[in-house]
Structure 1
C-alpha cells in the first residue's frame, strides 16, 4: 500500500483556461459553503453534546440501564464519526484547494482513518438497531423481558456481549472499504500559465480503489446493509407506536408512563437517524443502478453535485442532534443532565428550604453519584 509514482497531467497548452474549466479538481462554491462553514457548525456542538451525554451516563447511576449502554456506545461512535469524518473534510479543504486531496495526510490515512470512519458509521447503525430491538421487546413483549431479567447480572452481561459484537461486526464490514480507499494515486499537474492558477498545488493525492470494481462493491455493500437494517427497524417502530397507542387508552402506572416516554424518545431518535441517512443511500443506489443499466445521465450527474453535499450534511447532522433529542423528548434525561451540569435546587421534604448542599441533594434524590 505504498504511494505510487506521480501520474502526470499537462494542461499548460490549454488557451484561455478558466477556473471553471477545472471544476472536476476544485471545490465549487456550494461545497466550500458546506465543508468550510456548515460542517464546522455541526462538528463542534455534535462532539460536545455527545461527550456531555457520556459524562451524564458515567455520573448518574440510574442512567446505567441496558438501553443507555447502547446509547453510550452510539455516542462514542458519533464522536469519532464527527471527529474524523467531518474533521477530515474540513482539514482537507484548508490544506489544499484540490477536492479530496489527501497527499499531506499521507497514504496511511487512506487505509486506516477512512475505513475507521466507515466502521463508526456501521457501528451507529448497529447500536440504533440494538436500541430498537431492546425497546421492541420491552414494550411489545414485557413479560418475556421480565422472565429473562430475574438475575441482576443479566442486565449488563448481555448488552456488553451485544456491544462487543456490534463493534467487531462494524470493523469487519469496514474492511470491505479498504480495497476501495486504500491506494493513493499521486498526480503531478501542470496548470495553464494564467495568474489565477498560480496558487494551486502542482501535486495532489487521491485515495483511490485498488481495482476498478472495488469502489462499486464497497458502496453497494454499504447500501445493501443499510436497507437490510432499515426495514426491520421500520417494522419494530410501527409495532412500538401501535402498542403505545393502545396503552394510552387505559390507565397506566407511573413507571409504565416513564417507560413509554423512553420508548417514544427512542422511536423519534431512530426515525430521525434513518430519515437523515436515507437520502444519501437512496441516491447512491439510484446512481449505481443507472450506471449498471446504461450510463449515468447528465441530469443525475448534475443533481449529484447538489444532493451529495446536502445528504452528507444530513449524515453528520444526525450524529449531532441525538443528545438534543434525549433532552427534548424525555424529562428523565433532562433531569439527569441538570443533576450533572448544575447544582440542582431540591427539597428533601415538602416545605423545607431549598438548598444546593451536595449531601442533602444526594439524600433527596436517593441516588448517589459516581463522580
Structure 2
C-alpha cells in the first residue's frame, strides 16, 4: 500500500522534510480516464483550435472586406484563444509525460508555475473583455448607428480599446499571481506492497505542487477571477436583449424599395446574430468552471465540504474541457452562423489555390506568353456597401 503524507515546504526549502504517515491510495496516479482525456481528447481540441483560429486570422488578412471593426475584436480573441490552448493543454501533456502523479508539478518548478498560470489567467481575462467589447460595438452599430459612425466605429478607438482590454487583463493577472507563489510537497514511500504497475516508480518520491502564498490569497484569487466573468455575463445579457429588440423592430420598418439598404441591413443583422450566439457559447462553456471555482472557494472559506472527491474530480475535468472547447469553437460558430464568413473562407482559399497554380504555370513558361493569358489579374470590386475587396482570376 502506498503511504502518503504531506508537509508544507517554505518555498524552496525541501531538505530534511519530515513525512507523517497517513492513508494513501492509487488516486495519486493518473487513471485510465485521465490518460484518455489528456492524450486523445485534449490534443484533438488543440488541433481543431489551432487550425480554426489560424485559418480565421489568415482569412481576415487576405480578404479585404473582412477587415472590419468587429473582426478586429475577433482577431484579438483568436490570438488569445491560440495562446490559451497551446499553454494550457501543453502544460497538461507535459505533466503527464514527466510524472505518473496527478498533482506533481516538479517539472515546472516555482517559476514555471508562476509563468504558465499567469499566461492562462491573462488570456482568460482578455477573452472575457474582448467578447464584451465586441458585443458593445454591435450594440452601437444596431441601436445607436449615428454614434457608432462618429465615434465607436473608428479604427483608432477600437485599437485603443483592445489594447486597454489586454492591459487590464495583464494587471488582473499580476494581482492574482501570488496564488501560485507558494508550494506544497507531498512525500511518498512504499511499505510491504505497492500499487499495481507502480512497483519500481520513485522508491522515495516527492510530489511538488504550486499553491498560494497563504490559503486566503488562493480564495481571493478565485473571487477576482470569477467576478469579472459574472459581471460580463450580466452586461452581455442586457446588450443582447437590446440588440434582439432592435433587430425585431427593424424587420417591419426596413425600406423595401431600396435593395442596397435591405442588403446592408441583412449583412449587419447576420453579423449581430452571429456575435450573440458566439457570446452565448462563450458563457455557457465557461460557466461550469466559474461555478466550480465559486463552490471550491465557499468550501475553503466555510471549511464545509459539499463535494465528494469523485464529484470534485469529475466536475473539475469537465469544466477544464469546456474551457478548451470554448477556445476552439469560435471559428466554427462564425461559419455556421454567417454566410458572409463562409464566403470569405471560400474566397481566401480560392485565391490561395489560384495563386499557387498560376505561379507554377508562369514559372514553367519560357517567357513568350507575357501577353497575359496565364498571368494573375487582380480586380478591385466594389460591394453595395462601398467596400473594396480583391478577387483572383
Q: Is 1:359 aligned with 2:377?
A: yes
Alpha-carbon offset, residue 26 of structure 1: 2.3
Secondary structure of 1:334's aligned partner: helix
Q: How does 1:67-86 map to 2 (within 5 A)?
A: 67-86=70-89
Q: Is 1:206 aligned with 2:209?
A: yes
Kept after mapping to 1: 8 A contact 2:176/2:224: no
Cα deviation per residue 1:300-344 (whole Å; 9 max; x = unaligned)?
Answer: x44222211111111110100100111111111111111222349
Q: Is 1:140 aligned with 2:139?
A: no
Kindly tell me: are residues 345 and 288 of structure 1, through their superposed partners in 2, closer, same or farther at Cα, counting changes over 3 Å? closer
Kindly tell me: are residues 94 and 143 of structure 1, through their superposed partners in 2, closer, same or farther at Cα, counting changes over 3 Å? same
Q: Is 1:43 aligned with 2:51?
A: no
Mapped to 1, the partners of 2:74 and 2:180 lie a distance apart of 29
CA RMSD of aligned residues (A): 2.8
Alpha-carbon offset, residue 368 of structure 1: 3.1
Q: How does 1:210-289 map to 2 (within 5 A)?
A: 210-251=213-254, 253-289=262-298
Cα deviation per residue 1:257-283 (whole Å; 9 max; x = unaligned)?
Answer: 100010000000011000110111123
Q: Which moved more, 1:187-196 or 1:73-82?
A: 187-196
Mapped to 2, the partners of 1:249 and 1:134 lie a distance apart of 23
Secondary structure of 2:210's aligned partner: strand
Q: Is 1:328 aligned with 2:336?
A: yes
Kept after mapping to 2: 8 A contact 1:107/1:207: yes
Kept after mapping to 2: 8 A contact 1:57/1:68: yes
Q: Which moved more, 1:274-283 or 1:315-324?
A: 274-283
Q: Which moved more, 1:193-202 or 1:91-100?
A: 193-202
Q: How many residues matched?
A: 350
Q: How does 1:61-140 map to 2 (within 5 A)?
A: 61-140=64-143
Secondary structure of 1:104's aligned partner: coil
Structure 2 residue runs without a partner (length 5+)? 1-9, 256-261, 355-372
Q: Is 1:368 aligned with 2:390?
A: yes
Mapped to 2, the partners of 1:356 and 1:241 lie a distance apart of 49
Question: Considering only CA atoms, is the larger Rg found in Structure 1 or Structure 2?
Answer: 2
Kept after mapping to 2: 8 A contact 1:4/1:186: no
Alpha-carbon offset, residue 184 of structure 1: 3.7
Q: Tell me what 1:174 maps to.
A: 173
Alpha-carbon offset, residue 83 of structure 1: 0.3
Kept after mapping to 1: 8 A contact 2:378/2:391: no
Q: How does 1:314-325 map to 2 (within 5 A)?
A: 314-325=322-333
State the TM-score, normalized to the length of structure 2: 0.81
Kindly tell me: are residues 294 and 98 of structure 1, through their superposed partners in 2, closer, same or farther at Cα, counting changes over 3 Å? closer
Secondary structure of 2:100's aligned partner: coil
Q: Tell me what 1:337 maps to.
A: 345
Mapped to 2, the partners of 1:254 and 1:215 lie a distance apart of 52
State the TM-score, normalized to the length of structure 1: 0.86
Secondary structure of 2:389's aligned partner: coil
Cα deviation per residue 1:17-40 (whole Å; 9 max; x = unaligned)?
Answer: 7xxx241x2233433332232111
Kept after mapping to 2: 8 A contact 1:84/1:117: yes
Q: For 2:317, which of 306, 309, 314 is the aligned residue? A: 309
Alpha-carbon offset, residue 172 of structure 1: 0.6
Structure 1 residue runs without a partner (length 5+)? 347-354
Secondary structure of 2:207's aligned partner: strand
